[in-house]
Amino acid sequence: MRASPWLFSLVIATGLSACQPAQRAEGTASDADTAEAPPTMAAATSDERSYAFRCGDVAVQATYRGQDSASVVVGGRTYPMASEPAASGARYGDGQGNTFWTKGTTEGTLQLKGEPERSCTGSGEQGAAAPAAGAQDTASAGFRATGNEPGWLAEVAAGATPHLRVETDYGQRTLEIAAPTQGKDGWSGTAADGTPVKLTF
């Protein structure tokens, strides 16, 4: 008896279909689908806070980045600082003798290399500006002069060790000289950023 070609084709087709992987029913999950997906990384959040302080006669802006670092702007000069161990409060330093130590957002201490330590006060409000220099007791200034176009201010603190402070460009730039040299016609010295300053009258 001779097998018909159609029967032979049917046997081959059935054999080949048995070799095919089983089709998954719609809606069922494969092993790859059921494997736990890796957690998505949350977008980095910016934990940046900025507070203004007045340290003696110097305006200071401190911007904290989390708990580990801060940028402290003193008289137009920025000091990048890292967190340092402190018995209380938060202390930051740059490893070069400049430190900023606060207890909360309303009091602290600024120490710049080669200059006397300054006590600091702040408003405690995030983003607030430092108290205006004019808000200080002007009786503490041994000498004060102002001008305009552009606006400027020069003050020499009274006392055994005078301190020279100059604001220019309507207060946009401040230069501080901790121990200026007094001459017969005024005071002179070098600011923390290396700018030579001479006040004559």
Counted domains in the chain: 2
* Residue 141 and residue 105 in contact, taking contact as beta carbons nearer than 8 Å: no
| Confidence (pLDDT) at 16 | 46
For residue 68, being part of any structural domain is answered with yes
Which CATH number do you get for residue 74? 2.40.128.200
| 9 φ, ψ (degrees, to nearest 5) | -65, -35
The Cα 28–Cα 24 span in angstroms is: 7
What does the pLDDT read at residue 133? 46
141 and 194 together in one domain: yes
| Selection from 193, 197, 164, 196 nearest residue 79 by Cα | 193
Mean per-residue pLDDT, 166-180: 80
Q: Answer whether residue 77 is part of any domain.
A: yes
Cβ–Cβ < 8 Å for 105, 94 = no
Q: What confidence tens digit (pLDDT) does each residue in 107-141 have?
A: 899 999 988 999 998 877 776 554 444 444 444 45
What local confidence, expressed as pLDDT, does residue 48 receive? 80
Asked if residues 164 and 177 have their Cβ atoms less than 8 Å apart, the reply is yes
pLDDT of residue 101: 92
pTM of the model: 0.43
Note whether 151 and 157 are within 8 A (CB). no
Write the single-letter amino acid at 26.
Answer: E
- One domain for residues 78 and 139: no
Average the pLDDT over each of 24-28, 103-107, 183-187, 189-193 and give the range with the smallest value.
24-28
Q: Which range marks the domain in which residue 186 is found?
A: 133-200
Check whether residue 183 and residue 156 sit in a common domain: yes
Per residue in 48-102, pLDDT (tens digit) is 888 888 888 888 888 888 888 888 888 778 889 999 998 888 899 999 999 999 9
Residue 136 tokens read as 């200080």
pLDDT band at 7 (very low <50, low <70, confident <90, very high): very low
Domain end among 122, 143, 171: 122
**Tokens representing 200?**
């004559």
54 with 110, same domain: the answer is yes
Can you give the pLDDT at residue 134? 44
Of 5-14, 42-51, 54-63, least confident by mean pLDDT is 5-14
Same structural domain, 148 and 108? no
